Amino acid sequence: MVQAENPTTVVSTKGQVILPKAIRERRDWEAGTRLIVEDTPDGVLLKQAPVFPVTRPEDVFGMLPHHGAPKTLEEMDEGVVAEARRRHDRD
Q: Residue 20 falls within a domain, yes or no?
A: no
* Count of domains for the chain: 1
What's the longest Cα–Cα distance across the chain? 71
Angle of CA points 22, 37, 28, to nearest 5°: 30
Q: Residue 68 falls within a domain, yes or no?
A: yes
pLDDT for residue 36: 95
Which range of residues forms the domain containing residue 67? 57-90
Q: Residue 80 falls within a domain, yes or no?
A: yes
CA 72 and chain centroid, separation = 33
- Judged against a pLDDT cut of 70, whether residue 1 lies above it is answered with no
pLDDT for residue 88: 87
Q: Residue 61 falls within a domain, yes or no?
A: yes
Q: Residue 38 falls within a domain, yes or no?
A: no
Q: Residue 10 falls within a domain, yes or no?
A: no
Question: pLDDT digit string (tens) for 48-57?
Answer: 999 888 888 8
Give the start-end residues of each E strand in 1-91: 35-40, 43-48
Average pLDDT in the 16-24 region? 93
20 confidence band (pLDDT: 50, 70, 90): very high
For residues 34 and 62, which has the higher predicted lDDT (pLDDT)? 34
Residue 17: strand, helix, or coil = strand
Q: Residue 31 falls within a domain, yes or no?
A: no
